[in-house]
Amino acid sequence: MVEEMMLDAALDSLRMITGRAETDEGTDGFPYVEGSPDFIVGLDGRPLGIELAEVRGKTDAEMYFEEVTAIAWKKNESYKRRGLFKNQIALILYGREPPLFDIRHSLAGFAEDEVFDDLGFVEMWAADLSDAYFNPGHPLRPADMFCMKPRKWLGFHRIGAPDRKPFG
């Protein structure tokens, strides 16, 4: 249930950031292998596998980035070994601490090092639904997102007002 909530919030934000539309068609012929990826969605009529992974217990940008890197490479090796990169798959990492808003500048410096270019994932995003700046689950609260791959969306993305005051 937590992963479904995270997926919904991340997809809402991704649609707003990238301009892609979620579609019902486009998910046919994308095989699950041993339950991977976690979800298959249609974006602009094409299938995209979504693998979700939680980042836990990190307190600063460097620790967060180290954990993201470790998770990404571990999942990459597993997917590569099983031949899953025949289809397009995005990795979405999520956590509650630290809020992406607080570490966005430091993350930008780490992410520019092209650490993730050789991964098989076509997209790699960090998503944040921490309660530091808005109530969890609030309908006016899209997820903060930080793109690590592809480069055209690299960096921190916040939907709406920077301070997230929804009523003016």
Task: For residue 132, report the phi and psi dihedrals to the nearest 5 degrees.
Answer: -65, -30
CA-based nearest residue to 75, from 102, 37, 128, 19: 37
Judge contact between 107 and 61, C-beta under 8 A: yes
Does pLDDT of 5 surpass 90? no
pTM above 0.75, yes or no: yes
**Identity of residue 145:** M
Is residue 157 helix, strand or coil? strand
Helix axes 61-81, 100-111, angle to 10 degrees: 60
What is the per-residue pLDDT for 149? Answer: 92
Ordered by start, the domain boundaries in the chain are: 2-18+40-57+64-131+141-157
pLDDT recorded at residue 156: 92
